[in-house]
Structure 1
Amino acid sequence: MDNNLKRIVIDNSESIVSMWLKEISLLKEYNHTAGISKESFEVTNREFVEVIFISLKNQGSMETVQKFSEKIIKLGWPLSYITDGLQVFRRVTIDFILKNTEQVDTDQFSTILESVDLWIEPIIRELVNEYSGSWEHIVSLQRVALQELSAPLIPVMEGITVMPLIGTIDTERAKLIMENLLDGVMQHNSEVVLIDITGVPVVDTMVAHHIIQAAEAVRLIGAKCIVVGIRPEIAQTIVNLGIDLGDFPTKSSLKKGFMTALEITNRKIIDLDSKVEHTKNIIESLKGE
């Protein structure tokens, strides 16, 4: 920045900041900061302009700008707060310089604009890049986490596993379901897999096709698939669409599906209380003899 202009700006920093604070407060309804408390808003604004002036005094150093960007991201403030704030600061600074310069010719006007731009543009670029990069990283981590949770395979006992599905099933998620299902069946040595669609809001032709493909793939590697969570409205939809689910068992609830899985694996649930009572009766009868 031109040294003379730099001196003017620094010497009159309080006036420029006062003008900026007044204008930035008018933008709260437009840059999604209206819900932020007055105290937090004022403190952050003061820190914001302090960062801007530090960058002017130490041109080329972006360390303070980066730290401020990280703080804004952690607080969840919108990117529009940063861009609006810097654009307003640029305009306020230029207006102040022009009003406090006696005569401004074309060359001098260009010099003022260029000097302020050379000061503000790197800050805008740095803050936006830091903000965008951090959010991309956060979104990437969230996407991986959601993928890991979108098609879990849970071993409930030896030979029986459950895959609960929740939410909409699209082509990309169907591919993930297939991969997790087949890998899990092999890893847990499953004999029966229960695909629970209780949490799937809509079962259309595409969703049913993906489920059928998954069940067929499970059958090909030597296990059996049971689709559970067939609600009345889903059953009606399947019938109306003419979808054939006759090649593998379907149950209305996970409980019924689990009972079927026990039968397939030659197991059953025994009421221990009744069993103990029956044994006691036998022992008593033997004693009587």
Structure 2
Amino acid sequence: MSQDSNPFLTFIQINREELIIKWEEKMKNVDDQKVSNVISDQVYTNICNEYINILLQYFRKPDDEINSKISEFSQRVVQLGWSLRFISTSLQEMSKLLFELMTVENTDEEKMTLVWAFDKWIAPINSEVLYHYASSWERTVSLQKIALQELSAPLIPVFDNITVMPLVGTIDTERAKRIMENLLQGVVKHRAEVVLIDITGVPVVDTMVAHHIIQASEAVRLVGAKCLLVGIRPEIAQTIVNLGIDLSQVITKNSLQKGIESALEMTNRQIVSLEE
């Protein structure tokens, strides 16, 4: 691919500053304010410059190195929080702008020739940018999911042989499995004698959730520890009664404080006030 056969290389080099200024304005016009309100003008300028650098490098020598540049560019866009719709529309606006500036005095026939040139030179780059954006976004979401899973069922030692698992949010089957795994591993790791499952932050306790909790309690008992269910609010207690859920095999307390007091008693300790 020779530079001479590329109609964009010289034009972009000569009109680079004008392209960037006008493209920035178009990007801000298509923005729904979620991006521009928190991103400075300099960031827009940097992104525009980086994209144009990618175009020029591809026009000169479309080798494997360009994929690395596109990947870095797309990852930066993802980190900025730009949506797929926003970046896709922005690339379209850039293509329209470039076409308009290059065909100000062209005939219809010359414009059609340039349309074919766009398909050959610009479209592949934009497709690669969107492909790498999607890949980078998927990796980011995957890492976030792993991080959330690690935080979804933490087991925290609060006293010797006493641990607490605070649960917040809904409990589905996948999360219930993680709760079970963390409980069993944590009991062994921390040599826990008593485990408190705190459901203060769980909005709904239905039959499925109760079933998972009972299973977790039984599993903890089988590895030699006792399990307390704490944080049962009045509305949760009423739901449990209405659903006919049997928690008779599980020790329950209405608050974490009461649960810790009971756990201390089970381990032959108690909290006492020291008189001055």
Say whether the 8 Å CA contact 1:2–1:115 is kept in structure 2.
no
Deviation readout 1:3-23 (Å, 9 max, x if unpaired):
373477448736972765565
Aligned ranges 1:69-148 → 2 under 5 Å: 69-102=74-107, 104=109, 111-148=113-150
Aligned ranges 1:215-226 → 2 under 5 Å: 215-226=217-228
Distance across 2 between alignment mates of 1:185 and 1:271: 30
Unaligned regions of 5+ residues in structure 1, if any?
275-289
Q: What's the offset of the Cα at 1:58? A: 2.2
Aligned pair partner of 1:43 in 42, 45, 58:
45
Change (3 A) 1:171 1:66: closer
Q: Does 1:28 align with 2:28?
A: no
Change (3 A) 1:141 1:233: same
TM-score, structure 1 length as denominator? Answer: 0.79
Identity of aligned residues (%): 48
Q: What's the offset of the Cα at 1:36? A: 5.0
Distance across 1 between alignment mates of 2:248 and 2:53: 68
Change (3 A) 1:163 1:188: same
Q: Give the alignment's Cα RMSD to 1 decimal.
A: 3.0
Say whether the 8 Å CA contact 1:191–1:222 is kept in structure 2.
yes
1:287 corresponding residue in structure 2 = none
Q: For residue 75 of structure 1, what is the amino acid of its counterpart?
A: L
Aligned length: 270
Q: For residue 266 of structure 1, what is the amino acid of its counterpart?
A: N
2:169 corresponding residue in structure 1 = 167
Say whether the 8 Å CA contact 2:51–2:73 is kept in structure 1.
no
Say whether the 8 Å CA contact 2:70–2:132 is kept in structure 1.
no
Q: Secondary structure at the match of 1:5?
A: coil
Deviation readout 1:159-196 (Å, 9 max, x if unpaired):
22111111111111001001111111122222211111
Q: What's the offset of the Cα at 1:92? A: 3.6
1:187 corresponding residue in structure 2 = 189
Q: Secondary structure at the match of 2:275?
A: helix
Distance across 1 between alignment mates of 2:180 and 2:27: 52
Change (3 A) 1:189 1:70: closer
Q: Does 1:262 align with 2:264?
A: yes
Q: What's the offset of the Cα at 1:212? A: 1.0
Distance across 1 between alignment mates of 2:4 and 2:113: 8
Distance across 1 between alignment mates of 2:235 and 2:150: 29
TM-score, structure 2 length as denominator? Answer: 0.82
Say whether the 8 Å CA contact 1:82–1:127 is kept in structure 2.
no
1:241 corresponding residue in structure 2 = 243
Distance across 1 between alignment mates of 2:117 and 2:238: 70
Distance across 1 between alignment mates of 2:6 and 2:243: 77
